[in-house]
């Protein structure tokens, strides 16, 4: 039986539960967000993009049926924390990953496959401390039982803190048995307080209501900032100077239209930022590191949702993503995380149209099992433009185009890495050398999920069989 936090992943498919994480102070850098790959929201990954919506990059590559959710930047820009869940089975866990997709690892040991909340804690919604050395997260343990109004409820929901390697784990605050879910804890910029959302179960009063709370790091001075009647929360985020908290109202509330608000950490000075018409769906918001703007998710009720930014007065709204997929849970990162984006542009090249011919011999000598693999040798034509590629594949040099793919490429740790955006597959990372007429790849490195079957060998042959030849354009 899954706990309530895990049920949120299922509930998201019905009511669109989405959120973001804390914002480190400083200059504005990339925005991390979660993209779902299916309408049921059972498969999703962490992406990043620049603050103007360009250079969208897939950072994690979970297998189908797994959701990587709630990205949170380390304030030093060194990594992103996120929650990995299989919505219909198993327990959730906090993970971290480097900006280039390397270093993917769970925070502390994973629970055994047969574990449940009584034998192993279910963790989620991890957020970095200001010094990037600790994580605050939600820990759920105990029995799960049916309660009035809200349905299945975990026995113990707690705000906990641990070191970045999973050590020194301890609980800061926990609920009474079956009383509520504590969600989306976020460190204050000075590291002394934690803001979070509480969702009461049907056994608490008022039943099935949400509110924003703040508590000191030692578990004292608990205080509610927003009225129960308004159903406020969805991953409240601190302003970089610690003077404001942003959240939105009317979570899962059919009787009211959600709006974004600011409130001071003592509950005073509430300001309404937006005045959206009824039928507008909102997700969580994240402050920009310079404190001048917020990133947020918005879309029509029952429709798709994209990531936007706006100024703190609600003006200058800018749409960043225009995907046919569901994009939300933005977290605005520091400028320190932007260096790799700038490096690829500074490196120059890797643009234009290119052709490489891959033979059966190339496939065999480069370790692909088998011989004649139809559709995976012949002519491959590639168009590379500003971090994006389109690939047309011909089965033989004279044959028709039998396959076409689109994706992105970016510099990571000195290699250029290609990702198929349509199939969500990592195609490998390579060193490269470019002249006016030739493009040569070498030293292949395959990290993360890749094409199934003979994929690694095929892609190694495509990129390294011999130099690519520059052509005028991709044939129609």
pLDDT-above-90 percentage for the chain: 53
Angle at 267 between CA 265 and CA 270, to 5 degrees: 105
Structure token digits, residue 65: 């049926």
Top pLDDT among 295 and 391 is at 295
Q: Where in the chain is the domain with CATH 2.40.128.370?
A: 348-471
Give the model's pLDDT for residue 412: 73
DSSP output for 169-196 = -EEEEEPSTTSEEEEEEEE-TTSSEEEE
* C-beta neighbour count of 190 within 10 angstroms: 11
Top pLDDT among 237 and 337 is at 237
Residue 474 is given by DSSP the state -
Structure token digits, residue 10: 């299922």
Top pLDDT among 460 and 462 is at 462
4-337 is a CATH 2.120.10.30 domain? yes
Give the model's pLDDT for residue 140: 96
β-bridge pairing 170-174 and 44-49: unpaired
Top pLDDT among 222 and 403 is at 222
- Asked whether 145 and 172 are in contact (CB, 8 A), the reply is no
Q: Is the pLDDT reported for residue 173 higher than 90? A: yes
CATH number of 348-471: 2.40.128.370
Give the model's pLDDT for residue 283: 94
Greatest mean pLDDT range, 134-138, 384-388, 428-432: 134-138
Top pLDDT among 216 and 432 is at 216
Q: Is the pLDDT reported for residue 14 higher than 70? A: no
| Average confidence score pLDDT of the chain | 84
Q: What is the pLDDT of residues 239-297, one digit of tens each?
A: 999 999 999 999 987 778 999 999 999 999 999 999 999 999 999 999 999 999 999 99
297-301, 323-327, 461-465: lowest mean pLDDT where?
461-465
DSSP output for 234-281 = EEEEE-TTSS-EEEES-TT-TTS---EEEE-TTS---EE---PPTTEE
Give the model's pLDDT for residue 35: 95
Give the model's pLDDT for residue 373: 55
Q: Where in the chain is the domain with CATH 2.120.10.30?
A: 4-337
Q: Is the pLDDT reported for residue 63 higher than 70? A: yes
Give the model's pLDDT for residue 448: 52
Top pLDDT among 23 and 419 is at 419
Give the model's pLDDT for residue 340: 54
Q: Is the pLDDT reported for residue 188 higher than 50? A: yes
pLDDT-above-70 percentage for the chain: 84
- Asked whether 103 and 80 are in contact (CB, 8 A), the reply is no
Give the model's pLDDT for residue 81: 96
**Listed residue (55, 73, 65) closest to 9, CA to CA:** 65
C-alpha span between 184 and 70 (Å, rounded): 9
Q: Is the pLDDT reported for residue 5 higher than 70? A: no
Q: What is the pLDDT of residues 402-459, one digit of tens each?
A: 788 888 888 776 678 888 887 777 788 888 877 778 888 887 887 554 444 445 567 7
Using a cut of 0.85, tell me whether the model's pTM lies above it.
no
Q: Is the pLDDT reported for residue 8 higher than 50? A: no
- Asked whether 347 and 317 are in contact (CB, 8 A), the reply is no
DSSP output for 305-337 = -EEEEEETTS-S-EE----SSEEEEEEEEEGGG
H helical segments located in 359-475: 360-365, 455-464
């Amino acid at each position: 039986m899954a706990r309530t936090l895990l049920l949120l992943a299922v509930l998201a498919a019905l009511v669109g539960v989405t959120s973001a994480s804390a914002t480190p102070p400083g200059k504005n850098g990339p925005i991390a967000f979660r993209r779902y790959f299916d309408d049921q929201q059972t498969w999703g990954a962490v992406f990043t993009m620049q603050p103007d919506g360009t250079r969208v990059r897939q950072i994690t590559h979970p297998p189908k049926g797994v959701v990587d959710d709630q990205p949170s930047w380390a304030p030093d820009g060194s990594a992103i924390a996120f929650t990995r869940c299989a919505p219909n089975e198993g327990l959730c866990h906090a993970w971290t990953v480097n900006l280039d997709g390397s270093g993917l690892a769970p925070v502390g040991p994973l629970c055994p496959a047969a574990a449940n909340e009584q034998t192993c804690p279910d963790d989620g919604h991890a957020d970095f401390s200001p010094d990037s050395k600790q994580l605050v997260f939600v820990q759920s343990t105990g029995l799960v039982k049916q309660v009035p109004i809200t349905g299945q409820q975990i026995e113990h929901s707690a705000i906990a803190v641990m070191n970045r390697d999973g050590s020194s784990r301890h609980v800061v605050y926990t609920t009474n048995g079956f009383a509520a879910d504590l969600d989306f804890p976020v460190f204050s910029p000075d590291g002394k307080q934690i803001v979070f959302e509480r969702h009461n179960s049907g056994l608490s009063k008022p039943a099935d209501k949400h509110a924003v709370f703040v508590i000191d790091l030692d578990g004292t001075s608990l205080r509610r900032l927003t009225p129960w009647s308004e159903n406020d929360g969805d991953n409240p985020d601190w302003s970089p100077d610690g003077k404001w908290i942003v959240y939105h109202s009317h979570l899962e509330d059919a009787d009211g239209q959600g709006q974004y608000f600011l409130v001071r950490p003592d509950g005073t000075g509430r300001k309404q930022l937006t005045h959206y018409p009824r039928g507008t769906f909102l997700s969580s918001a994240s402050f920009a590191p310079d404190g001048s703007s917020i990133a947020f998710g918005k879309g029509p009720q029952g429709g798709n949702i994209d990531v936007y930014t706006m100024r703190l007065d609600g003006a200058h709204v800018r749409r960043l993503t225009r995907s046919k997929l569901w994009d939300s849970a933005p977290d605005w990162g520091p400028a320190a995380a932007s260096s790799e984006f700038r490096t690829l542009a500074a490196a120059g090249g890797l643009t234009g149209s290119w052709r490489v011919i891959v033979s059966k011999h190339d496939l065999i000598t480069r370790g692909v099992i088998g011989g004649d693999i139809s559709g995976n040798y012949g002519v491959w034509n590639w168009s590379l433009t500003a971090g994006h590629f389109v690939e047309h594949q011909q089965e033989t040099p004279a044959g028709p185009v039998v396959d076409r793919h689109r994706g992105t490429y970016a510099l990571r740790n000195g290699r250029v890495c290609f990702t198929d955006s349509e199939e969500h597959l990592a195609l490998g990372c390579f060193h490269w050398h470019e002249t006016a007429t030739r493009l040569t790849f070498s030293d292949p490195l395959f990290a993360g999920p890749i094409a199934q079957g003979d994929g690694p060998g095929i892609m190694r042959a495509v990129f390294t069989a011999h130099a690519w030849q520059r052509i005028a354009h991709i044939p129609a």
